Amino acid sequence: MIVAIYPGSFDPITNGHIDVATRAARLFARLIIGVYDTPEKRLLFTLEERVELVKQAVAHLDNVEVKPFSGLTVDFARKVEAQVTVRGLRVSADFEHEFDMAMMNRRLGPKLELVCLMARPEYQFLSSSLLKEVARLGGSIKNLVPEHVAQALKEKEG
């Protein structure tokens, strides 16, 4: 039984993330979405809010759980007994970043495998940071996030 983690900051979760989670849930017996506690980013949503938004977004997927975590991804994987890390890849810039991280994680946890899923074409351009900017400036985010996330963004910005 292969258990996978899908780590990220999910600030907030988008349809791009949900697509990766849905596809990964078909590949692995269990998928645990790990929400980073303190990434090196300016965050709009608190950890609790991000976890809650992710939970609602994947409630329909039976073999998917959501957990907050802090510290190294390899330590989180060890704790939940996962053998695989899942990441999404959009443009080539994602690849360079993922490659560096994968090399470091291989040193830290040699047994943890990395599986990257290519983003669907319609989500190639979609990032949480761009989404937040468009939402803040009043642009349409239709079809980019689930309704509850659009609502949460509206409440934050409003």
State which residue, 29 or 95, has the beta carbon closest to ligand ADP: 95
Catalytic, out of 41, 78, 97, 154: 41
Q: With beta carbons less than 8 A apart as the criterion, state whether 151 and 122 touch.
A: no
Query: Could you tell me the two tokens for 140?
Result: 């349409």
Catalytic, out of 30, 55, 79, 90: 90
State which residue, 22 or 127, has the beta carbon closest to ligand ADP: 127
111 annotated active-site: no
Least distance (Å) between residue 35 CB and ligand ADP: 8
Q: How many angstroms separate the CA atoms of 34 and 13, rounded?
A: 12
State which residue, 68 or 158, has the beta carbon closest to ligand ADP: 68
Tell how many helices (H) and how many strands (E) occur in the chain: 6, 5
Among 28, 45, 58, 88, binds ligand ADP (CB under 6 A): 88
Q: Does 17 bind ligand ADP (CB under 6 A)?
A: yes
Nearest residue to 32 (alpha-carbon basis) of 81, 65, 68, 74: 65
Report CA-CA distances (Å) from 14 to 2, 71, 94, 102: 25, 24, 16, 23
Residues 6+ apart with CB under 8 A from 132: 11, 12, 44, 153
Residues 125-154 that bind ligand ADP (CB under 6 A): 126-128
Q: How many residues at the interface with ligand ADP, by CB under 6 A? A: 17
Given the rule CB under 6 A, which residues bind ligand ADP? 8-10, 14, 16-17, 20, 39, 87-88, 90, 94, 119, 123, 126-128
Residues designated catalytic:
17, 41, 90, 128
